[in-house]
A and B are shown apart, each in its own frame.
Chain A
Amino acid sequence: MTTGTRAVADELQEILLNHEKDRTQLLPILVDINKYFGHIDSNAIIEVSRYTGVPIGEIHGVITFYSFLGQKKRGRFVIRLCRTISCDIAGKDQIVRVLEKELGIHFGETTDDGVFSLEYTNCIGMCDNPPAMLINDKVYGGLTPERVVDILDSFKLSEYQDMFGYGGVE
């Protein structure tokens, strides 16, 4: 979905209007757009530039700086598995295999239906309960293969499709 279509453009404007026209609002704006649309496309960048007065090139620079922001569409649910040492020595590799098998994709990929993306992340501050991962805004620690499967099942689309802005099955 591009942010160029009319309904989407309205939603984009609404996000912009929630923020002051000020450079210090650039990151909060980008975070909101990224969360709502799953990415920040070139049309959105133009609109953000228009609104904040920050040059397009600099907005690109800011987006590429942060691992949570992206210009490429991610899945509706982004799974970020911690690969830092305390999770690593607590069995992270096994969790990698479960996730890849269950979703049929590798890390760095998104499922064909656009529902799940698999990514690595660095320490997420859950080292006392490893291995740990984030799925969108939620954190899960003490992962075991069974627990991972249960968690994935709980993310059945039907229950969650309204929770995120660009909802509905595509």
Chain B
Amino acid sequence: MKNEKKKILFGEFVTGAGLARALEMGAGKVVDEVKASKLRGRGGAGFPTGLKWELTAKQESDEKFVICNADEGEPGTFKDRLLLMEQPEKILEGMAIAGFAIGAARGFVYLRGEYIYLRKILEDAIVSMTERNFLGKNIQDSDFSFDVEIFLGAGAYVCGEEFALISSMNGYRGEPRNKPPYPSEVGFRDKPTVVNNVETLCYVPYIVTKGSEWFKEHGTQASTGTKLFSVSGDVKHPGVYELELGITVNQLLTEVSGEGAKSVQVGGASGLNVAEKDFDKPICFEGLPPGGSIIVFNHKRDMLHVLKNFMEFFVEESCGQCTPCREGNYRLLEGVKMLEKGECSVRYLKELEALCDVMKDSAKCGLGQTSPNAFLSIVENFKTEILYR
């Protein structure tokens, strides 16, 4: 943690306090409290966590599951790595509270293969939590039992998408599928399943102990709480910062010693490129995408080179299932290569922008729907820099 102002996640914490409080409150009240906090998912999509739990809690089923999404693969994101490394018990406690709230007895951490060096830390935390009866059978003498296992990924960005993640766990190719049904109805082993991001789960023990009103003191009306930002690129102090949602790009840059930036990629490759003129805009669910990846570019950087790097990423990581994404990203990359050679006309660039709109509307999952954002925003912000070079 870079900033000394310890807000929520890196503040005081006693393992098990949240779980004990949850057991006192009862499952229904836990769901209500999380709903009242207006906590929204920190994995990108921003779905209200309490509502997700409520939908899953309602399902009648002999078995339900909690999955912690630790597939963190969005370029420029590493905040979950830090949580996994330094706060594994908080993650597990959040999972147990989720399990209690929805009526699940088993949870999984889907850990990206690239993070295999964190497995031991998680395993040790599971053992230690089980020894202290914060996991395992009859937790704290209640009739609630909950076990957690680790499921290792094998190198595929798209597996972070919740449907793809579930397919991957079910033993199929990690491909997204059409919705509905949602995981809350048909998930792991076709049973009702809650999928939450690592960071989302970490706020939960605080919300149940300190209350939703306290949580709402942070952030904005529609984006409550704080957010971990992964800051990299041309800044003096790269690292993870916990900041209020609703912070402007300018404020953030001051916080991380990134003054003098040419542009900032907010929300990773699938987020938006933000130029100086927009640095006063807030980062939150109602503003710039709050995924947490912040990549800063200084005035030396060639933005076409940056764009090419992002498009290569999407071409490589597209699962290839649907045409708009598979072909679209390929065409966009080709367009970037034409721009590099000064061979892309203004007219053709317009065609590519129209293609972007088609991709946004018709791609099956978030990957293909958001990959045009980098293209559109960089082209828009730096048209004179990249055309006819």
Contact = CB atoms under 8 A, between A and B. Distances in A.
A81 interface: no
B171 A52 contact: yes
A134 B112 CA distance: 13
Given A89-B234, A123-B77, A125-B115, A68 B155 contact: yes
A57 B269 CA distance: 33
Contact of A65 (B115, B173, B269, B312): B173
A156 to B, nearest CB: 21
Interface residues of B, number: 53
A130 B170 CA distance: 34
Contacts of B306: 85, 89
Contact of B170 (A24, A61, A121, A122): A24
Interface in B348-367: none
Given A66-B113, A86-B233, A127-B77, 18 more contacts: A27-B151, A27-B154, A27-B168, A27-B171, A28-B152, A62-B173, A66-B154, A66-B155, A67-B155, A67-B156, A83-B312, A85-B233, A89-B301, A122-B73, A122-B157, A123-B76, A125-B114, A125-B115
Contacts of B154: 27, 30-31, 34, 66-69
A148 B233 CA distance: 21
A138 interface: yes
A68 B157 CA distance: 12
A137 interface: yes
Contact of A125 (B77, B170, B175): B77
Contacts of B312: 83
B114 A134 contact: yes
Given A68-B113, A68-B155, A24 B171 contact: yes
A88 B309 contact: yes
Contacts of B316: 122
Interface in A10-68: 22-28, 30-31, 34, 52, 54, 58, 61-62, 65-68
Interface in B70-111: 72-78, 80-81
Contact of A85 (B114, B175, B238, B309): B309
B37 interface: no
Interface in B235-269: 238-240, 265, 269
Contacts of B313: 84, 122-123
B75 A126 contact: no
Interface of A: 22-28, 30-31, 34, 52, 54, 58, 61-62, 65-69, 83-86, 88-89, 121-130, 134, 137-139
B231 A137 contact: no
Interface of B: 72-78, 80-81, 112-117, 151-157, 168-175, 188-189, 230-234, 238-240, 265, 269, 295, 297, 301, 306, 309-310, 312-313, 316-317, 319
B199 to A, nearest CB: 13
Contacts of B234: 89
23 contacts: A23-B170, A24-B169, A24-B170, A24-B171, A27-B154, A27-B171, A28-B151, A54-B171, A58-B172, A61-B173, A66-B156, A67-B156, A68-B154, A84-B309, A85-B306, A86-B232, A89-B297, A122-B157, A123-B76, A125-B115, A126-B78, A127-B75, A127-B232
Nearest to B173: A65
A54 B171 CA distance: 9
Nearest to B172: A62
B75 A84 contact: yes
Contacts of B78: 125-128
Given A31-B154, A67-B155, A123 B75 contact: yes
Given A89-B301, A137-B116, A127 B230 contact: yes
Given A27-B171, A122-B313, A127 B117 contact: no
Contacts of A66: 113, 153-156, 174
Given A24-B171, A65-B173, A66-B156, A122 B317 contact: yes
Nearest to A62: B173
Contacts of A126: 78, 81
Contacts of B157: 122
Nearest to A122: B313
Contacts of A30: 154
Contacts of B115: 125
Contacts of B231: 128
Given A121-B114, A137-B117, A130 B232 contact: yes
